[in-house]
Amino acid sequence: MPTAKRVFLLLVLLSSAVAAAPWAHAGTCESLIHLKLPDTTITLAKLETTETYKPGKIETQGPPLTDLPAFCRVAAEIRSTSDSRIKFEIWMPTSGWNGRFMGVGNGGWSGEIWYPFMGTALRDHYATASTDTGHEGSFRDASFALGHPEKLVDFEYRAVHEMTIKAKAIIAAYYGEAPKFSYWDGCSSGGREGLVEAQRFPKDYDGIIAGAPANNWVPLMASGVWIWQANHDGDARVLSRDKLKVLHQGALDACDLLDGVKDGVIGNPQSCRFDPQVLRCKGEANANCLTGPEVEAADKIYQGPKNPRTGERIFPGLEPGSELKWWMFGDGDDPAIVGSYFGYLVFKDSGWKAARLNFDSDIALAEKLNGRELSANDPNLGEFFAEGGKVILYHGLTDPIIAPQNTIDYYRRVSRESGARAEASVRLFLAPGMDHCFGGAGPSTFDARKSLVDWVEQSKAPEMILAAHPPDRPGAAREPDKTRPLCA
């Protein structure tokens, strides 16, 4: 064979080998600063390690940013319109990349990149990205959208989609190949973001984890205000945290043993027939019973918001067993996350107060203004399923923020819409004793990512996920003090 031809074939073989190896870099990390992408400016491209990476102030609570493997950190800004400025970061392991991309979701109105959860994905050898959803600000605060409709569009869907497209391009530029599979992992607003992706952009992700999704936006906002109103008489709070403990113990006394195990967890709250009337004070009010107004407040929160004119349910109520954290919407002068929505996005009034909400006309107005755009409630996931997409939904049954029945209802509507295809493509896992996204008296830590990967890549549909409960004692060993299977 002529020498020139042998050299050519050798170069072809070497090029193929480099392209196939997931750890082979097409360019240096620093060279990505010059990468040109539509509407995008890369502002940082730097090799980082646990020693060099120093996160700034992070409002998001999550896993510690320690023991990170060496990674290429890229920060970028996307300007889709003149009033749109979407920031995101992508972290790519310098060695051992598993060939996958993991998008990480946000919570509330979060206007920051969720670094702690990027760290978890990075340690599992994913290339991972997160966005500030197009604005800077607290997860409690929707003021960014007042007078800025393009920023609201960013929050609704554009930021995550644009981040996803650009992140895949950056991965391809760094490794010399696109990710073989792309996954989404988010809870609460991050769960909503995942369902938005499945509904609007079915080619973006192969698999989506949507925990406690805030997908039914206006009714959810109404639910938070309902809880706040139920627990307030003027400026006075009705159910103190001490009385919530009394109420919670009453629910446990009535229903803890329904599953045959006394463990401080109600296994199936939907089967619990607890009536707070049994705790009503028989004589003088005292610390161990509930007054009439306290019983009435509890009843309203269990029932959930209703339209006062038609009696129609607006959103499900919270479940027995969730009482200890009802203060999350029940304390303070105003319920920040939900009050911020009505104040800034519905009434355009920074001084709006939750006590003024009308659960008939005001809810109708909110739905008309932006209810469809902010929600991810479409049960038709046919295009996503046709692409081979899989969805894992999960919800803690003691969630005090988003009633778990909302996710159950959505799952049932998806199943009715797509029938056998849904049965092959979506699973719902309910976690007894788990609060909002994490924590609670029941096992609440589990590896949904591995289950999703096995499902997408090996067609192993998850029928059970093992959940663990870490010990609450400070300084205790990290081995779980209890575990339980979560069944699909």
Report domain extents, the chain. 22-216+374-487, 219-372
Q: Distance between CA 42 and CA 73 in Å, rounded?
A: 11
- 8 Å CB contact between 362 and 181: no
Residue 86 parent element (H or E): strand 86-93
Q: How far is CA 466 from the centre of its chain?
A: 20
Cβ atoms within 10 Å of 338's Cβ, excluding its own: 25
What are the structure tokens assigned to 217, written together?
């936006």
Map residue 163 onto helix, strand or coil. Answer: helix
**Number of residues that this document lists for the chain:** 488
Q: How far is CA 55 from the centre of its chain?
A: 22
Cβ atoms within 10 Å of 482's Cβ, excluding its own: 16
Question: What's the pLDDT score for residue 266?
Answer: 97
* CATH number for the domain running over 22-216+374-487: 3.40.50.1820
- In order, the DSSP letters of 328-384 are HHHSSSS-HHHHHIIIIIIS--TT--GGG--TTHHHHHHIIIIIHHH-------HHH
- 8 Å CB contact between 396 and 404: yes
- In order, the DSSP letters of 128-161 are EEEE-TTS-B-TT--GGGTT-HHHHHIIIIIHHH
Question: What's the pLDDT score for residue 478?
Answer: 65
Residue 211 parent element (H or E): strand 207-211
Instruction: Give rounded-to-5 percent helix, strand, coil for the chain.
Output: 40, 15, 45
Q: Distance between CA 409 and CA 436 in Å, rounded?
A: 17
Catalytic residue among 248, 399, 435, 469: 399
Catalytic residue among 185, 436, 444, 469: 436
Phi–psi pair at 241, nearest 5 degrees: -65, -30
Q: Name the residue with tokens 């989506």.
A: 208
B/e letters for 25-37, b = 16+ CB within 10 Å, e = fewer, are beeebeebbebee
Q: Distance between CA 336 and CA 235 in Å, rounded?
A: 16
Q: How far is CA 9 from the centre of its chain?
A: 50
Question: What's the pLDDT score for residue 482?
Answer: 87
Q: Distance between CA 441 and CA 22 in Å, rounded?
A: 41
Residue 448 parent element (H or E): helix 448-458
Stretches in the chain below the pLDDT threshold 70: 1-24, 26, 472-478
Residue 225: partners with Cβ closer than 8 Å, 6 or more residues away:
305, 335, 338, 339, 342, 354, 357
Residue 188 a catalytic site member: yes
Q: Distance between CA 291 and CA 282 in Å, rounded?
A: 9
Question: What's the pLDDT score for residue 477?
Answer: 52
Q: Name the residue with tokens 């609570």.
A: 61
Half-sphere exposure of 406 (CA within 13 A, CB side): 34
Q: Distance between CA 329 and CA 339 in Å, rounded?
A: 10
Q: Distance between CA 171 and CA 127 in Å, rounded?
A: 7
- 8 Å CB contact between 105 and 159: no
- 8 Å CB contact between 395 and 211: yes
Catalytic residue among 80, 188, 340, 375: 188
pTM of the model: 0.92
Question: What's the pLDDT score for residue 24?
Answer: 53
